[in-house]
Every structure is written in structure tokens, then in C-alpha cells.
């Protein structure tokens, strides 16, 4: 699923190994400063990144019409979670 690349031990530069990292990094920073007004809490970082990834992937999706359909499928398949349970796990 993930490929680990050790940059320090490589003969290539970081921008050659991870060509899109700086683009995604700058987009995430701009998104957090714009959407959350720079007020992001570290304990919710994984949620912020999941939301960003959803939007980023949706922008590049060739099947946007199925987005609502898939959202409804996930909504129906996922059991309800009480708010206290959601915040307890963070």
C-alpha cells in the first residue's frame, strides 16, 4: 500500500524521489489556513488530512457522478457512532 523511500541514503534528490510532495504540502497548508483559518488542532490532524484527501481525490476523479451514490452507500453501510465515542478515540 505504501512505499517507504529513504531519502538520506539515496543518490537522488528529494524532489526526484517525491516529485509531487511540495505541491501537496503547499495545497494542504493553503487549505488549512483558508478553511480552518489556521486554527488546526494536532489531535484532529488525521481527520483534517482525510478531509483534504477526499477533496483532492474528488477533484481528480473521472467519475464524479458516482460520488453521491458512493457517499450514500457508505452512509447506509456504516453503523451510527455516538459523538462521545467519536471524541473518546482521539
pLDDT, tens only, 55-82: 877 776 666 677 777 778 888 888 888 8
pTM: 0.50
Give domain status of residue 49, yes or no: yes
pLDDT at 31 over 80: yes
Give domain status of residue 1, yes or no: no
Give domain status of residue 3, yes or no: no
Which residue range is the domain that position 44 belongs to?
14-88
Give domain status of residue 8, yes or no: no
CA gap 81, 44 in Å, rounded:
17
Give domain status of residue 20, yes or no: yes
Give domain status of residue 57, yes or no: yes
pLDDT at 90 over 70: no
Contact call for residues 63 and 34 (beta carbons, < 8 A): no
CA gap 27, 52 in Å, rounded:
9
- pLDDT digits over 7-26, tens only? 777 777 777 777 788 888 88
CA gap 59, 15 in Å, rounded:
24
Instruction: Report the pLDDT value the prediction gives residue 60, as an integer from 0 to 100.
Output: 66
Give domain status of residue 6, yes or no: no
Structural domain total, the chain: 1
Structure-block grid coordinates of residue 57: 481525490
- Smallest CA-to-CA distance from 5 within 23, 13, 27 is with 13
Instruction: Report the pLDDT value the prediction gives residue 78, as an integer from 0 to 100.
Output: 84
Give domain status of residue 5, yes or no: no
Amino acid at each position: 500500500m505504501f512505499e517507504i523511500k529513504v531519502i538520506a541514503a539515496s543518490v537522488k534528490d528529494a524532489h526526484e524521489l517525491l516529485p509531487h510532495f511540495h505541491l501537496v504540502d503547499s495545497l494542504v497548508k493553503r487549505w488549512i489556513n483558508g478553511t480552518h483559518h489556521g486554527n488546526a488542532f494536532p489531535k484532529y490532524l488525521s481527520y483534517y488530512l482525510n478531509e483534504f484527501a477526499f477533496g483532492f481525490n474528488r477533484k481528480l476523479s473521472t467519475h464524479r457522478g458516482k460520488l453521491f451514490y458512493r457517499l450514500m452507500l457508505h452512509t447506509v453501510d456504516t453503523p451510527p457512532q455516538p459523538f462521545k465515542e467519536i471524541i473518546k478515540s482521539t
